[in-house]
């Protein structure tokens, strides 16, 4: 799986970010963690999915770049809002996919 190097997190996951990423890469899906990824459909911006959805091998193999982690769905929605606002303030556009791809700061699994 591919992780955005400057991974967005909520307050709860910030302190445990490295541990959570390591567990997910190892196939350990704990708690009520939610991931924010680039959308699988290029027409959309971002998607929110439960970490438990990665138990499906197809989704795990095809999961787009993960750009955020949150402790629950509500927190993921708030984090998504924060991400979009920050990107809009920086770029003046809502070209979210282009923003993440242009920074070319992804980390492949295991690094």
Residue 58 dihedral angles phi and psi, to the nearest 5°: -60, -45
**pLDDT tens for each residue of 41-65:** 988 999 999 999 999 988 889 999 9
Q: 28 is written with which tokens? A: 């350990």
The β-bridge relationship of strands 106-108 and 2-9 is: antiparallel
| Residue 17 scores a pLDDT above 80 | yes
The rounded distance, in Å, linking the Cα atoms of 111 and 66 is 14
Burial (CB < 10 A; 0-12, 13-18, 19+), residue 46, is middle
The pTM of this model reads 0.88
Helices 96-103 & 73-91 angle (0-180, nearest 10): 80
* Strand order through the sheet with 66-70: 46-50, 34-38, 66-70, 2-9, 106-108
Q: Find the range with the poorest average confidence among 6-10, 75-79, 88-92, 97-101.
A: 97-101
């Amino acid at each position: 799986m591919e992780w955005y190097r400057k991974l967005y997190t909520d307050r709860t996951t910030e302190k445990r970010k490295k541990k959570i990423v390591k567990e997910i890469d190892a196939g350990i899906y704990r708690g009520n963690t939610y991931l924010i990824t680039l959308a699988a459909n290029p027409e959309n911006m971002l998607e929110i999915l439960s970490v438990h959805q990665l138990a499906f091998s197809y989704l795990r193999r095809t999961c787009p770049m993960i750009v955020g982690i949150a402790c629950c769905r509500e927190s993921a929605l708030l984090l998504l809002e924060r991400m979009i606002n920050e990107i809009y303030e920086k770029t003046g556009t809502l070209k979210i996919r282009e923003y993440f791809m242009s920074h070319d700061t992804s980390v492949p699994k295991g690094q």
